[in-house]
């Protein structure tokens, strides 16, 4: 049992590495996440704000990973253009976009007052 659990972590970590090394959007989202975390440290935000930042960042990254996986699978299932596959990919990308917009709004609510304090 222990060996199976350890293998699961190795496999999951391999997926993380693949995502951040090979997916352009993954790298972009990771850079935005790191910048947000640096801002959170610099502004010494409250625990509640940290929770919001981490939930937003994690949600966007996780959805981007799922979107990438779904696109890869769809391309294997149907390499040629198919209208249903297009809808599937568009809806998945829309989920990432929605999470990103909501996260940007939450980030603005958290960080804008801090930034304005220094101007």
| Blockwise average pLDDT, block size 10, the chain, 119 residues | 78 96 95 97 98 98 97 96 97 98 98 93
Residue of 23, 64, 71, 78 with catalytic role: 64
CA distance 103 to 100: 5
Domains belonging to the chain, first-starting first, are 2-117 (1.10.287.3610)
Would you state the pLDDT for residue 6? Answer: 83
How far, in whole angstroms, is CA 114 from its chain's centroid? 24
Would you state the pLDDT for residue 118? Answer: 86
Would you state the pLDDT for residue 76? Answer: 96
Would you state the pLDDT for residue 18? Answer: 96
Task: Tokens for 40, please give them.
Answer: 């959170």
Tell me, yes or no, if 23 is annotated catalytic.
no
Which pTM does this prediction carry?
A: 0.90
Would you state the pLDDT for residue 2? Answer: 59
Secondary structure (3-state) at 92: helix
**Residues 45 and 114 sit within 8 Å (Cβ to Cβ):** yes
């Amino acid at each position: 049992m222990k060996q199976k659990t350890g293998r699961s972590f190795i496999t999951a970590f391999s997926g993380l590495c693949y995502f951040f090394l090979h997916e352009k959007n993954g790298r972009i989202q990771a850079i935005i996440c790191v910048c947000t975390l640096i801002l959170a440290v610099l502004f010494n935000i409250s625990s509640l704000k940290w929770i919001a930042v981490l939930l937003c960042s994690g949600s966007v990254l996780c959805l981007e990973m799922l979107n990438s996986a779904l696109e890869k699978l769809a391309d294997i299932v149907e390499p040629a253009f198919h209208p249903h596959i297009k809808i599937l990919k568009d809806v998945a990308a829309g989920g990432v976009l929605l999470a990103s917009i909501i996260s940007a709004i939450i980030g603005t609510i958290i960080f804008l007052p801090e930034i304005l304090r220094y101007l």
